[in-house]
């Protein structure tokens, strides 16, 4: 929670989830205690989900009560309505309690973590064994500002036009964006 980093583990030879395989920069709750601490299981999955503040999250996965993993918020349930200012907060506290991720990372959880996947939220400044990935800061004046640069959507205008490195806050959300 304090580190704003999600680390995914796979099973080792003893069946324990001990092998770190992926780290994702995220944004947890802005208010203390808004992202609950504890061990939870994923339950409901949504392509798009209306959030408590009337924004939308893409690839939302519930893990406790009203708290979900989901993309950075959008104005509408449309991939070209990203709230760029909120995207630029990835890696720091910013949400009402949910765990915000880039589209690429929220889609990874949506696609790879089946219903009932166990996850733990804990407070620690240490981001975990893989460290905390860097994030992109999108220029709010960019003509592509309504899109998450990591979104695999075929209509994403960032494809072929990676953000200029002078706009990089902390490099890339996931170091393996595959745009040509």
Strands 99-101 and 67-71: parallel
Tokens of 115: 């219903």
Tokens of 5: 């980093």
Centre a 10 Å sphere on the Cβ of residue 148 and count the other Cβ atoms it contains.
29
Tokens of 1: 């929670």
Cα–Cα dist 156/172, whole Å? 17
- Asked if 163 and 138 touch (Cβ cutoff 8 Å), the reply is yes
Tokens of 102: 């880039």
Strands 5-11 and 17-25: antiparallel
Active-site positions read 70, 98
Total residue count of the chain as it appears in this document:
180
């Amino acid at each position: 929670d304090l580190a704003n980093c999600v680390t995914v583990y796979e099973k080792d030879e003893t069946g324990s989830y001990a092998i770190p395989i992926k780290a994702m920069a995220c944004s947890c709750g802005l208010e203390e205690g808004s992202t609950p601490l504890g061990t939870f299981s994923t339950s409901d999955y949504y392509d798009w989900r209306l959030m408590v503040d009337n924004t939308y999250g893409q690839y939302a996965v519930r893990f406790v009560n009203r708290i979900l993993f989901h993309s950075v918020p959008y104005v509408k349930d449309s991939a070209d309505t990203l709230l760029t200012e909120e995207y630029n907060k990835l890696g720091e506290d910013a949400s009402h309690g949910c765990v915000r991720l880039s589209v690429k990372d929220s889609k990874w959880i949506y696609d790879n973590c089946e219903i009932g996947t166990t996850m733990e939220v804990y407070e620690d400044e240490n981001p975990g064994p893989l460290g905390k990935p860097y994030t992109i800061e999108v220029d709010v004046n960019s003509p592509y500002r309504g899109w998450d640069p990591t979104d695999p959507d075929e209509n994403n205008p960032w494809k072929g036009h990676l953000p200029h490195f002078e706009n990089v806050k902390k490099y890339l959300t996931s170091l393996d964006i595959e745009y040509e």
